[in-house]
Structure 1
């Protein structure tokens, strides 16, 4: 194969304020899973940089759970559809598909023999269903609630019991199979967000928006006692998870803490304080082997440390929203990937290990549209918040002083030698030197889309919707229109000079990539055809012989400058979305990013 997937740096879970997030655990204890958009993300719990993404749902996926056998995963989406698929093969073949309820699925539970599945959520005629996994035929009914059901669990021992928690402030207890409604538990005064049986089946717990956790007998459903007296947390509780030995449980709350409880004593042993910001609210948790995980509203996944409750062992960061641009920078022999997303968040990743973090301080408040590196080792970014920012890579911190306010929204930014940057704004070109505007050009007579400075620093090329590349010479502190334009086939979407400055590559909405030879007065060197839809991003390989383009047709092509017929085609790099950013680590390693909020690395062989 000319290409091979090397790494997947997955997105974080997509979070919503006040909505619990269910994290699924693998019964063998190796993986955990969660959802973002239409993707189910499976990650290795010991090394979360190892990830796999399932992308077969047509609607946003809301919950995914492993079967107790470990061979299958059931995932449910916003339309009420359940897909049961294989975990052992790379292709994740679909085994069965059902639509048990007619609205969003909130939770899924399996019986311990992996034969029956309970599904609950929001429906029109019913809020839940229990059925056989291989035929879909019903094994009881989930009744007794007047509002949508948030949570369901099944006792993992015979005799089976099923319990549900709902927005009508009640929990319901069922015996079966076939499961029949037995009685209602009315010990909460607010929504019941999570219900979970202990692994040994002796007890179950319910947790609610009233900040209470109540423990019941697992076989009879009788009340044992609430945890922590009147209130377990000062905020609503969104998730609970039992320890494997059934003696303790953890609870995640909107009061920005996670608590570890000794269930027998009814007291909190440890309180993990996760921060003071709104984004530090805790909406999900998982106890797997020795790992205690919680999910913050920011999407960050925290590995909690029982011995040091104020500091997680590690926090997995990344993106929850679509990535718009990306670039690579090498420092001290290591390559780092920088990615900017739709919500203004910038993340950087160690290309080898996947270790990542974000810049400290307050950064962009809106979509990061383009990024580049300058000679001073600063990341230059332009955003829809109408600013350009210069961020020092060594400090890894946003600087309040290195922000340049633009008169109009910038679409593109390019960095050149000698402290130069060029910003293409709506209706205006801005030349900057040492983080200060030195020249602006208005009334262009065409709509500029993207601009690049030649590595030599004497020329700026600007591509427009008029299908032309306009060349300007940079003289002192001015941009001078030399009257020279290059014809492309259509409205220009992206362009870049090769690293040695020998070529300029341009892509346009007529699906053509064109290269021009700079030394030969920008004569056309080659034209490349292959995309079925508009290409939107382009990046040169460090060897200056190849460049990659990504298009709305979900394709990535790697072209050879000297031979238009020689190309490597990567179909379906991100399955659900087109590639929004491309960058190279070395001549054989391409990085792609997309609206699925994940970053992938590919090994390319020519």
Structure 2
């Protein structure tokens, strides 16, 4: 048997309130790239495409900028430490969505976050700018890192940079100091600084594809147009939007450009008369969540990014035809329910995905009002008769029906786990257990005499719980809503137990300790094996197959391990399954006779991945 990757569902772009989030588009291969956590995500620009998704996880700090080279073969990405990495992004055949792209070069550019990156048309020179101390930008060759000019003329953080697509090359930068600076080159040299045109922070700047014009936009709602070859100011459009402007993009024919604004709209502008000829509205009523902070003009769509991470697809007439949603934060829990997958993340969002043969398709998120949603980390998700129960670090237990919150109660402290036992729900705390009925009425509250990490139902009236003070497993019984400890004893473990998983037939109990090693018990407490010791650190989740013969496991070491009850010394491994810890697992199907199946995993890298078991 072996574990084979099938598909990956990428997280959405990270956004920060009040900040632009630049998308980059590869017109050669019709792909989109953006930042997410410490990773860079490449996905097809067409939401209908099944082309593979590429995840580049090799930044050690939060990524802040990304740019395709004009050829589409390379990407330059920057992070909050001021480092820029250039890596191979050329499309390949095979399992490229699971293979990490190769780094070609990397350089320390400035002492703070990289805000923007630009390539020249030769795919050989790069300018990276941002928030530095001694300088705010640097021009260099992509392979050797040799300096090819000085980026000077600003007194504050540079927010955006662009290079004229034709020779003779020119460059333009815009900054928090309200200025646009024009450079000649290469080597790039300061030519002029244009001040007094913008009255607030300038967010973005772009040369037209034919090189004739430059356009800059800012928080002052002003659009400024300049001559592309000389940098001379031509005209400006004031009060272009009802809110600050975050991004601007030119049409490929250079006849118009589009702006994205905090007022929730995009506008298409004519070069000749400076009039908005089309308005693209993502919603009727602007909110903070639908501020438009990123923009790309693709082969088939005008694509914008909401501040909440949604991707909006507009046609050429300005009609909104698709909103693609998805997790953008580390995923903490997944739950498979028929052909629907629920995923909860560290920002409190819960998303639904439809499962089909081609992968996962995002459905509308579970949502109530702002007061009803979890405000942060989703700890666990439970499903019963199409009703979902969730707990979070906001100390809430919520009931969801048809995608809406129908009930919510406050919990006494931070919950650790949610389980169904009989007709009740167990909520586990650090040293306490609560039993609720399905309508969330409290049935009993039981105080433990030790700290714990996990609970697992053994039957409709008994459950097991970890005792991390004595490194043991304790059994409790429920009778008439009263909880009592049984006399059954499990042999002591080598380290504190952190996870318990009872097999579907109730015959086996797999217990993982804090070092990642399992002890497999029979339900009577006798040890079957302690040879499941292939994880190198804490296990976060494990799931049994329906036939109770195999256990898939994942955790902090980012690997996937398939253990066998019949052959305890045999283990199927897939190391580095995610670029950060594997947090949750779910079996889609498994045929024990043929030893084939598929399962789904989630990780702190924000991705959801589908895997195949082959014999």
Match in the other structure for 2:555 = 551
Q: Determine which of 399, 415, 420 is the counterpart of 2:420.
A: 415
Whether contact under 8 Å (1:408, 1:428) holds in the other structure is: no
Match in the other structure for 2:11 = 11
Q: Determine which of 515, 518, 534 is the counterpart of 2:520.
A: 515
Give, in whole Å, the separation in 1 of the partners of 2:276 and 2:550: 60
Q: Determine which of 152, 157, 166 is the counterpart of 1:148.
A: 157
Give, in whole Å, the separation in 2 of the partners of 1:429 and 1:206: 59
Whether contact under 8 Å (1:80, 1:102) holds in the other structure is: yes
Match in the other structure for 1:524 = 527
Match in the other structure for 1:321 = 329
Matched, 1:127 2:127: no
Give the unaligned 5+ runs of structure 1. Answer: none
Match in the other structure for 2:610 = 601
**Structure 1 residue 164 displacement after superposition:** 0.6
Q: Deviations over 1:280-334 (max 9, x none)?
A: 111111111221111111111111244454xx3212211122111112111xxxx
Q: 1:308 to 1:128 in 2, by over 3 A?
A: closer
SS in 1 for 2:360: coil
Q: 1:308 to 1:214 in 2, by over 3 A?
A: closer
Q: Deviations over 1:3-37 (max 9, x none)?
A: 22111111111111111111111131410100011
Cα RMSD (Å): 1.8
SS in 1 for 2:172: strand
Match in the other structure for 2:365 = 358
Equivalent runs, 1:350-389 vs 2, <5 Å: 350-352=354-356, 353-356=359-362, 357-361=364-368, 362-374=372-384, 376-389=385-398
Whether contact under 8 Å (2:515, 2:536) holds in the other structure is: no
Matched, 1:99 2:108: yes
Give, in whole Å, the separation in 2 of the partners of 1:183 and 1:506: 68
Give the unaligned 5+ runs of structure 2. Answer: 591-596
Q: Deviations over 1:453-472 (max 9, x none)?
A: 23x41222222313222212
Give, in whole Å, the separation in 2 of the partners of 1:504 and 1:572: 26
Matched, 1:112 2:144: no
Give, in whole Å, the separation in 2 of the partners of 1:548 and 1:422: 24
Give, in whole Å, the separation in 2 of the partners of 1:308 and 1:127: 37
Q: Deviations over 1:427-457 (max 9, x none)?
A: 2111122223453343321112221223x41
Match in the other structure for 1:185 = 194
Equivalent runs, 1:416-455 vs 2, <5 Å: 416-417=421-422, 419-454=423-458
Give, in whole Å, the separation in 2 of the partners of 1:487 and 1:591: 33
SS in 1 for 2:367: coil
Give, in whole Å, the separation in 2 of the partners of 1:133 and 1:505: 51
Whether contact under 8 Å (2:542, 2:552) holds in the other structure is: yes
Matched, 1:293 2:303: yes
Q: Determine which of 76, 79, 87 is the counterpart of 2:78.
A: 76
Give, in whole Å, the separation in 1 of the partners of 2:568 and 2:574: 16
Q: Determine which of 64, 67, 73 is the counterpart of 2:66.
A: 64
Whether contact under 8 Å (2:29, 2:72) holds in the other structure is: no
Matched, 1:470 2:474: yes
Equivalent runs, 1:393-404 vs 2, <5 Å: 395-399=402-406, 402-404=407-409
Matched, 1:225 2:235: yes
Give, in whole Å, the separation in 2 of the partners of 1:510 and 1:145: 52
Q: 1:488 to 1:366 in 2, by over 3 A?
A: farther
Match in the other structure for 1:272 = 280
Match in the other structure for 1:345 = 349
Q: After TM superposition, where is structure 1 displaced by more than 3 Å over at least 4 residues in a row?
A: 47-50, 305-309, 436-439
TM-score of the two chains, using structure 2 as the length reference: 0.92
Q: Deviations over 1:522-572 (max 9, x none)?
A: 322222111121222222223321112223222221111222111111211
TM-score of the two chains, using structure 1 as the length reference: 0.93
Match in the other structure for 1:281 = 291
- Greater mean alpha carbon deviation, residues 383-392 or residues 69-78: 383-392
Whether contact under 8 Å (1:283, 1:297) holds in the other structure is: yes
Give, in whole Å, the separation in 1 of the partners of 2:353 and 2:463: 31
Match in the other structure for 2:38 = 38
Give, in whole Å, the separation in 2 of the partners of 1:26 and 1:280: 25
Matched, 1:492 2:497: yes
Whether contact under 8 Å (2:488, 2:525) holds in the other structure is: no
SS in 1 for 2:416: strand
